Structure 1
């Protein structure tokens, strides 16, 4: 089965009684079917393959999303297979949240909103690193 016709093995939803997180680009709940194959991707930053790190926040987010998609593809998944994200942002602000949301929609599609936890942090592993994203995806076995 190719990636375009792959059957989803999870459902994303927002249960009644919880606020609507769609404007912030995520869902509250992911239910994964039994027997799904899981792909776990370590935190991806905005560095290029040669280790260069652009000082611009948006360009780091865009590169980190490219890195995440590359890792997912190597594991047999796509952005639309992601069920859970953990995002770390240095000097978090509403502007940085907006940038992340725009880049996430560009990478995954505006209608795919995986569950997500965003954690503001004072710094990350590398000097100048402003953004890191890790993911869990689920695909049919």
Structure 2
């Protein structure tokens, strides 16, 4: 049995590229990540002004944080994607990178345009929840 099941609704539109919900089976180990930011190892914001470039670094950093907690992107049951923009095309640019990195694993997600993020020149942030079988 898998640690969790992604739920795709038969009553809601199928024209979305994510599952509508995730159900975790217990006992399980749950990993909550901090928001992954577009920072390099020196703490500098990368790809200044480039939403897609920052989203790529964010997903690299998220994958690293998950790996260090014993999980991977395929264990993610939910993400929240923050983009410091009110322009829908910026949100879509970030989302396309996130979805590409998640591959066939279409965990539920929320995509938000926000006024500002915490680091100078930061445009994108992603946090996640992952579920693993209790070992």
* TM-score, scaled relative to structure 2: 0.88
Contact 2:51–2:94 (CA under 8 A) maintained in structure 1: no
CA apart distance, 1:13: 1.6
CA apart distance, 1:82: 0.3
Which residue, 26, 29, 33 being the options, matches 1:41? 33
Q: For structure 1, which runs of at least 5 residues remain unmatched after alignment?
A: 1-6
Secondary structure of residue in 2 paired with 1:45: coil
Q: For structure 2, which runs of at least 5 residues remain unmatched after alignment?
A: none
CA apart distance, 1:77: 0.5
CA apart distance, 1:36: 1.3
For residue 32 of structure 1, what is the aligned residue in structure 2? 24
CA apart distance, 1:18: 1.8
CA apart distance, 1:21: 5.0
What is the rounded CA distance, in whole Å, between the counterparts of 1:21 and 1:34 in structure 2?
31
What is the rounded CA distance, in whole Å, between the counterparts of 2:2 and 2:44 in structure 1?
35
Deviations 1:35-62 (A, max 9, x none): 1111110101111111121211111100
* TM-score, scaled relative to structure 1: 0.85
Say yes or no: does 1:131 pair with 2:124.
yes
CA apart distance, 1:95: 2.3
What is the rounded CA distance, in whole Å, between the counterparts of 1:124 and 1:48 in structure 2?
16
Moved more, 130-139 or 87-96: 87-96
Number of residues of Structure 1 aligned to a counterpart in Structure 2: 132
